Amino acid sequence: METKRSLSIRLFAGLACSLLALALYAGYTRTQLRVLRRLQTEIIDRNRRDSLLLVRIQNDLNTLGLAMRDMLDAKDGYPLTAWRSQFQRIRTDLEDGVAREAQVAPASRTVDQARYLASSMGQFWDALDRVFDLAAHDEPEARAQVRLSLQARQAALATAVSRLLVENNETEEQAAGETERIHAQVERNLYVFLAAMLLLMGGVSAYLIAHNRRLFERVTTLSARRSELAQQLISMQEGTFRSISRELHDDFGQILTAMGTMLQRANRLAGTNPAALREELREVHEIVQATLEKVRSLSQALHPVMLEEVGFESALDTYIPVFERRSGIAVRYTKSGGVCRVSRDASIHLYRVVQEALNNVTRHSGSKQVEVRLVSSPDTVTLEVEDFGAGFRDSGRPGLGLVSMRERAEMMGGRIEFVEGAKGGALVRIAIPAAKEEEHAPAGV
């Protein structure tokens, strides 16, 4: 008792230490992940989106500069007002880019920087509108305004955008450095935590292995003894059934047969032949026949002699009609595959499994129909008993019949399954290795 209490205290102490260490590390990791998430979403990702929009604005400004250069080129002969629609398209795209960029601008950008970009852009478009209005009646002066004012404004805007891109890149590099530092710290702490947990788990595991090894050895020994005792019990039970069956079949069966013959002879040799005597003798004969049938039925139940005389298949062919008459349950029996090769020792266990499964159908399922399927192959013999009733009920522990069937399957070196059938009933499936040719039980005499 003291040993159990000491082991429980140590296990609980180890579990508490493990949970405490896990909780501390989880809290620390969660805090670091929050920092990483903030850096990722609020700085790095936002800077990248803002930089893409700034590049778009810069491209539009470059396109604007090229358009002004082409507009001032006098070789094409186009008036300045002809360029108004092209500049309007650039303006639309540029204003859209500026509006989108203002929505994702990083928090580090000052109000003055944002105001400068917006006001400079507005002043440029106002100046451009005045140039186009001036070009309608004084084109040389308008061209001079483009050279002196608009190109300078465009260059100033391009410089401002480039400066913002540089600031974004610097901020992103700083955030990337901070992210890398946090990753390295989390990774280092993870290794420390894993090492501590491995040491703790190793100590607990070593203690449990040393303490439970003796228990496992005892459990293994008890399990081996239980299986051996169960097999001995089944073997002894079958030996007892076989002995009683032989006595019933050889002694009582012969006696009752002789009694029936003698009564028939007395009925034929009655001197006076009175009707009452013949009726009495007939009734005695019927009783003897009924008793003989009961003795034979009991003999088959204790140990089916037909297994040794005609083999498993023929014994099953005989037993199924008897079960139908006794229980009132219709049995659909099908066989497939080649010859059913079952050894003498395995045939009785397989026969008992069929009996137990059919008896369970009678007692528990409530089904009026059952299917028995025997499938033979060169390596395996599979037998299935399926009903269409209530199925297996979960009673907490298996009944003795199921345990007996499982033990018999293990004795034959096979496996047995208790599963739900295709239509909701109970399905018992047992598969055993096919017997070798020299071990094959006889198919008939």
Question: Which residue segments constitute the domains of the chain, with CATH numbers given?
Answer: 2-207 (1.20.1330), 305-439 (3.30.565.10)
Contact 311, 441 (CB under 8 A): yes
Write the DSSP assignment of 146-210 as a string of letters.
Answer: IIIIIHHHHHHHHHHHHHHHHHHHHHHHHHHHHHHHHHHHHHHHHHHHHHHHHHHHHHHHHHHHH
Nearest by Cα to 113 from 41, 50, 181, 161: 161
Q: Are strands 330-337 and 369-376 parallel, antiparallel or unpaired?
A: parallel
Q: How many CB atoms lie within 10 A of CB 243?
A: 12
Cα gap 416→173, rounded to integer Å: 67
CA dist 62 to 14, 57, 155, 159, Å?
A: 69, 9, 9, 11
Handedness of CA 238, 243, 244, 249 (dihedral sign): positive
Q: Is the dihedral of CA 340, 341, 343, 346 positive or negative?
A: negative
Q: What is the pLDDT along the chain (445 residues), one digit of tens a residue?
A: 445 556 567 667 766 776 776 777 667 667 766 766 665 666 677 777 878 888 888 888 888 888 888 777 756 667 877 888 888 888 888 888 888 888 877 777 777 877 887 888 888 888 888 888 888 888 888 888 888 888 888 888 888 888 888 887 887 777 777 777 777 777 787 777 777 777 877 776 777 777 777 777 777 776 766 676 567 667 666 766 676 666 666 656 666 666 666 666 666 656 565 665 566 667 667 767 766 666 666 666 556 666 767 777 888 888 888 888 888 888 898 988 777 788 888 888 888 888 888 888 888 778 888 989 998 888 888 999 988 877 776 655 556 677 778 888 888 888 888 888 777 788 899 998 887 765 555 544 3
Give 168: exposed, middle or buried? Use CB within 10 Å, 0-12, 13-18, 19+.
buried
Measured distance CA(369)–CA(328) in Å, rounded: 9
| Dihedral sign for Cα atoms in the order 420, 422, 425, 426 | negative
CB atoms within 10 A of CB 248: 19
Does pTM surpass 0.85? no
Residue closest to 146 by CA, chosen among 59, 69, 250: 69
